[in-house]
Amino acid sequence: MKKKLLTLIVCVLLFGTVRGQSPADTAVVFYHRGRSDIDPDLRDNRAALNDILKRFAAAVADSTCQSVVLRLDSYSSPDGVTVANGRLSEKRAGRLAEYLRAQAGVSEPAITIQGHGIDWHGLEAKVALTDVPYKEEVLDLLRNTPEWIFDDRGRVVDGRKRRLGMIRGGVPYNYLMEHVFPLLRYSRITLSYTVQRTETAQPEQPAGQPVEQLAPELERPRRPTVAESAAEAVVQTAGERAFRPLLAVKTNLLYWAGVMPDFERYTFVPNLELEWFFKERWSLSATGNYMKRSYGGDDFFGISAWSVEPRWWFKEDGRFRWFYLGAYGQVGDYDVQNSRAAFDGTTGTFWGAGLSVGAAVPFSDRWGLEVGIRGGYRHAEVKDYVHEAPDYFLDREGADNHWGVTGIKASLYYRFGKGNRK
């Protein structure tokens, strides 16, 4: 038996030497209540940070260590609004990443971050090891009560945190606030890397195959067929009799499908666009979107948006086909409510401006499909509401400034005008 065990240990050691090892070191950094800044003097933060930074520097300097990564997992305690606790844990991870980069020159790809919100599992584990008043009742609630309790309509009516605070008049909750919750406001730093012991063999050239045959052959340019050449000639000779649009009526099919510029799907939004064509390559477009509707239980989506957009078309033939560039301005308001776990809602007004690019793909003289995208700056006045059963709270009031994609479209259009290509 001893001989077999010794043989197994030797095999494991040899396999690890050949294939590589993946060690991992950890450190824990604590935070003040409601804070995300790094305080080296809180608990053992200074020693933990110095130790993990030394280990990271040693791993980076060691030529046998590959794929050196610091992973940051941040948490919060249950006191406070749940949505805010989720954001706080993400902010803690981000601030810790900034601190590590400043102290050790850690590169961006070497750090991964994740905010997890309330550490319920950590709370249960610590309660099991702590002399909490009415300990068994607290453990039973943590193990058997879901974080959110819903009614028959899918609305949040109660939850684990509220019931925890009600046990025995709040006696165990007050104890947890003082002795346990401070231990749940933390980030765990995990240093991981791979120790490579042997060099990776280079792939061999397939035997008996010339190197020239491994490269793809260059394709010869395809010559147009007789039918394609004839069709092109018809288009060119019919230019004098081409249909010339004056006005177009459009509707964005993506908005009817409920897809908004943030690429999230809500409810359908009725919309209408008018475009006036003038000169040989200029047009002016005006768009309106409007919807106020409850959908999916207590979900609500409301928006009204109005915009104008002058456009310049690439082809100077007066037919306004294919590619264009535009500049737009937009104003509107919104009201979005989602009955997810935290039952959140957002209302406000917005305005924006930027550039657009798109193309009009004709099906015929009058019918076609226009696709495009808008990008630029959007300023929104924001009021965020959260539901912490059974009450509702104004969680945040401020402004949101956004640079990026602000509009998408796949619009079916019909054009009014003169001329025909029969």
**Predicted pLDDT of residue 101:** 86
Alpha-carbon span 113 to 188, nearest angstrom: 10
Label residue 181 by pLDDT band (50, 70, 90).
very high
Name the residue with tokens 């309106």. 288
Please tell me whether residue 239 adopts helix, strand or coil conformation: helix
Label residue 13 by pLDDT band (50, 70, 90).
very low
pLDDT tens digits along 277-306: 988 789 999 999 887 776 655 667 778 888
**Predicted pLDDT of residue 291:** 79
The alpha carbon of 340 is separated from its chain's Cα centroid by a whole number of angstroms, namely: 17
Residue ranges of E strands in 119-160: 148-150, 156-159
| DSSP bridge pairs for 404 | 376
What pTM does this model have? 0.49
Please tell me whether residue 155 adopts helix, strand or coil conformation: coil
**Predicted pLDDT of residue 108:** 67
Query: Residues 91-95: contacts with CB within 8 Å, 24+ apart?
Result: 91/36, 91/115, 92/31, 92/36, 92/187, 93/187, 94/36, 95/36, 95/37, 95/38
pLDDT tens digits along 52-87: 888 888 888 887 877 888 899 999 999 988 888 999
Burial class of 373 by CB neighbour count within 10 A (0 to 12, 13 to 18, 19+)? middle
CA distances from residue 373 to 252, 254, 263, 370, 394 in whole angstroms, order as listed? 12, 12, 12, 10, 34
Enclosing H/E stretch for 174 = helix 171-179
CA distances from residue 13 to 3, 4, 92 in whole angstroms, order as listed? 16, 14, 39
φ/ψ (deg, to 5) at 261: -60, -25
Alpha-carbon span 305 to 255, nearest angstrom: 12
Question: At residue 225, does pLDDT exceed 90?
Answer: no
- DSSP structure class, residue 265: B
CA distances from residue 290 to 150, 190, 224, 268, 271 in whole angstroms, order as listed? 32, 49, 48, 10, 7
Alpha-carbon span 115 to 188, nearest angstrom: 11
**Predicted pLDDT of residue 28:** 94
Of residues 43 and 234, more confidence is placed in: 43
Of 82, 72, 164, the C-alpha closest to 117 is 82
Alpha-carbon span 257 to 345, nearest angstrom: 22
Percent of the chain past pLDDT 70, that is, above it, reads: 77
CA distances from residue 397 to 116, 125, 287, 384, 400 in whole angstroms, order as listed? 24, 36, 29, 6, 10
Of residues 113 and 11, more confidence is placed in: 113
pLDDT tens digits along 335-358: 877 654 445 677 888 888 999 999
Please tell me whether residue 204 adopts helix, strand or coil conformation: coil
Alpha-carbon span 26 to 190, nearest angstrom: 4
Percent of the chain past pLDDT 90, that is, above it, reads: 35
